[in-house]
Amino acid sequence: MILDKGIARIFRKVNAATDGHMPEYVRVPLHEGWYGELSFETAPARPTDSREEVRTDARVRVLQNRQINNHDVVELHPTGGTMTLYEVTRAFHGADDDSGELITDLNLEVIEP
């Protein structure tokens, strides 16, 4: 897969508050690079009672970075478009089926302003 849709900047949310104070999160840079868009469906084909329903607003692929986890923050800067802010709801670390290149696939949910 060609990673040519734009630049993805990924951050870890870290609590910078002193002891005993309300959490104050800052973003620590974790990864930056080109991304590719993956196809996805917005509703599961066969929902079940014990299944956790998670909203997916976008799916992207970046070069592998095993430090990326759920709840990390992603800025997608598409070429010729507007930046959108997302939260990672699922990260898959593996290899591309066609090329064998190490990749990380991210399921993303839009962060409401």
- Model pLDDT for residues 103-112, shown as the tens digit of each residue: 999 999 999 7
Could you tell me which residues come within 8 angstroms of residue 36 by beta carbon, excluding any fewer than 6 positions away? 1, 2, 3, 4, 5, 60, 61
| Residue 54 pLDDT | 76
Confidence category of residue 49, pLDDT binned at 50, 70, 90? confident
| Residue 30 pLDDT | 96
| Residue 64 pLDDT | 97
Share of the chain above pLDDT 70, in %: 92
Tokens 């840079």 belong to which residue? 29
Q: Give the C-alpha separation, 93 to 110, whole Å.
A: 21
In three-state secondary structure terms, 66 is coil
Whether 98 has a pLDDT exceeding 80, the answer reads yes
Radius of gyration in angstroms for the set of CA atoms belonging to the chain, rounded to a whole number: 15
Confidence category of residue 66, pLDDT binned at 50, 70, 90? very high
| Residue 50 pLDDT | 73
| Residue 112 pLDDT | 75
Could you tell me which residues come within 8 angstroms of residue 17 by beta carbon, excluding any fewer than 6 positions away? 23, 24
CA distance from start to end of the chain: 32
| Residue 113 pLDDT | 62
Q: Determine contact, residues 33/62, Cβ cutoff 8 Å.
A: yes
